[in-house]
């Protein structure tokens, strides 16, 4: 059995210092709803956990001024039900409320949600017991071992952003909404603080699917910010899943619009459940900007998002499903009050 130690940080600086002291095999832990799961499966094997769920002030939800700012350890529930978020940014609220279950959202944090790992069944199975080693190779879990999903049971796999090494879907709903809203992530690490756009936070799998995030060792997500925009009002998050009570997306779309009468002036469209990272679609956006939004135009835009899609044997359905989810979300967003 591997020894595991635990410490509690009460400030972001203390958390970073504790990480540096513990070395590379430390992990931050917030709600624990993903990390404990992965530890039980034998996929994550930290030797030290740094509890960041009690850091003073890092749960703040600030809505004054030009930006919305959510502390990295703010609970998914608290952000989803913050009045400004509910009333003026439905895309954010809906992405959180359609994720996981109420019990999980009461534990899980918006920072931890960004860093949760894929639900690809080949990634999650095969690490635990000695008898399973090598049965389901996975490049994300064991770099260079192969990808069991390619040519395997690929119903849930991605059709966008895939590589020869990996087709695992990015699991989170909230990051898809953040992608549509051009969010930025505030980080604190051993080298100091920095801010990066959410679009740069995630890495395509390429030949190194084990490297999923553009994070330096020991960096802590201290906050997530969004510049206030009128597009928040005409926004929505649509998600199709196997069961409505709780399940990960088969296909989802975050849409936010600014309109002049019936004409779309600005469109922000991002996809989930179909790609290896939260996925923005400039092609879909270009098709609706400058035109009035008919159902036909909305479906054309949805299909444009999948022009470069590549499917396997069982996941081709995601291409038409994803296009229709975008189309429905566009119509819903356009009908919302500005």
Ligand X SMILES: Cc1cc2nc3c(=O)[nH]c(=O)nc-3n(C[C@H](O)[C@H](O)[C@H](O)COP(=O)(O)OP(=O)(O)OC[C@H]3O[C@@H](n4cnc5c(N)ncnc54)[C@H](O)[C@@H]3O)c2cc1C
Which member of 33, 139, 184, 332 binds ligand X (CB under 6 A)? 33
Which member of 220, 231, 274, 331 binds ligand X (CB under 6 A)? 220
Span interacting with ligand X, options 24-32, 129-137, 251-259, 285-293, rule CB under 6 A: 24-32
Residue whose beta carbon is closest to ligand X: 112
Taking the C-alpha atoms of residue 91 and residue 95, their distance in angstroms, rounded to an integer, is: 6
Of the candidates 144, 188, 145, 150, the residue with the CA atom closest to the CA atom of residue 166 = 150
Considering only residues 157-196, where is the footprint of ligand X by CB under 6 A? 171-174
Residue (72 or 126) nearer to ligand X, CB: 72
Taking the C-alpha atoms of residue 218 and residue 198, their distance in angstroms, rounded to an integer, is: 18
Which member of 74, 85, 115, 224 binds ligand X (CB under 6 A)? 115
Residue (116 or 139) nearer to ligand X, CB: 116
Phi-psi region of 183 (alpha: psi -120 to 50; beta: other; left: phi over 0): beta
Q: What stretch of H or E contains 269?
A: strand 263-272
Which member of 109, 148, 235, 332 binds ligand X (CB under 6 A)? 109
Residue (121 or 264) nearer to ligand X, CB: 121
Q: Supply the minimum distance, in Å, between the C-beta of residue 261 and ligand X.
A: 35
Q: Is 230 in the site for ligand X (CB under 6 A)?
A: no
Q: Supply the minimum distance, in Å, between the C-beta of residue 297 and ligand X.
A: 30
Strands 279-280 and 263-272: antiparallel
- For the CA atoms of 259, 264, 266, 267, what is the dihedral angle to 10 degrees? 120
CB–CB of 44/124 below 8 Å? no
Q: Supply the minimum distance, in Å, between the C-beta of residue 188 and ligand X.
A: 9
Report the first-to-last Cα separation within the chain, whole angstroms: 58
Residue (195 or 286) nearer to ligand X, CB: 195
Span interacting with ligand X, options 33-41, 276-284, 292-300, 302-310, rule CB under 6 A: 33-41
Which member of 9, 16, 22, 30 binds ligand X (CB under 6 A)? 30
In 116-172, alpha helices (H): 121-124
Considering only residues 269-308, where is the footprint of ligand X by CB under 6 A? none
79, with CB counted inside 10 A (0-12, 13-18, 19+), is buried
Considering only residues 130-149, where is the footprint of ligand X by CB under 6 A? none
Strand order of the sheet with strand 48-51?
A: 5-8, 48-51, 26-29
Residue 150 tokens, joined: 């390619």
Q: Supply the minimum distance, in Å, between the C-beta of residue 75 and ligand X.
A: 8
- Where do contacts with ligand X occur on this chain (CB under 6 A)? 27-35, 37, 52, 72-73, 99-100, 104, 107-109, 111-113, 115-116, 171-174, 220-221, 246, 248
């Amino acid at each position: 059995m591997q020894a595991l130690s635990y410490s509690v940080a009460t400030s972001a600086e203390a958390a970073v210092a504790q990480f540096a002291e513990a070395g590379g095999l430390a992990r931050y832990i917030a709600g624990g709803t993903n990390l404990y799961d992965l530890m039980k499966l034998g996929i994550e094997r930290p030797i030290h956990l740094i509890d960041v769920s009690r850091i003073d002030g890092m749960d703040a939800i600030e809505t004054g001024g030009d930006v919305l700012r959510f502390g990295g350890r703010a609970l998914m529930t608290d952000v989803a039900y913050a009045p400004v978020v509910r009333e003026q940014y439905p895309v954010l609220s809906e992405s959180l409320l359609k994720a996981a279950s109420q019990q999980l959202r009461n534990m899980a944090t918006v920072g931890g949600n960004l860093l949760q790992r894929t639900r690809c069944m080949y990634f999650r199975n095969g690490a635990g017991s000695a008898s399973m080693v090598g049965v389901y190779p996975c490049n994300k879990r064991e770099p260079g071992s192969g990808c069991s999903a390619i040519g395997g049971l690929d119903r849930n796999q991605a059709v966008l952003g895939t590589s020869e090494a990996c087709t695992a879907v990015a699991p989170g709903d909230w990051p898809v909404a953040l992608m549509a809203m051009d969010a930025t992530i505030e980080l604190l690490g051993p080298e100091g603080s920095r801010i990066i756009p959410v679009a740069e936070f995630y890495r395509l799998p390429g030949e190194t699917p084990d490297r999923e995030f553009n994070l330096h060792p020991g960096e802590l997500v201290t906050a997530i910010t969004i510049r206030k925009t009128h597009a928040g009002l005409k926004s929505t998050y649509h998600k199709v899943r196997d069961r409505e009570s709780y399940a990960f997306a088969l296909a989802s779309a975050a849409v936010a619009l600014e309109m002049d009468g019936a004409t779309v002036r600005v469109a922000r469209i991002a996809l989930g459940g179909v790609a290896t990272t939260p996925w923005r679609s400039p092609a879909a956006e270009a098709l609706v900007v400058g035109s009035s939004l008919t159902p036909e135009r909305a479906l054309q835009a949805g299909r444009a998002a999948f022009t470069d899609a590549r499917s396997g044997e069982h996941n081709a359905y995601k291409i038409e499903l994803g296009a229709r989810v975008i189309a429905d979300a566009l119509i819903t967003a356009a009908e919302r009050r500005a």
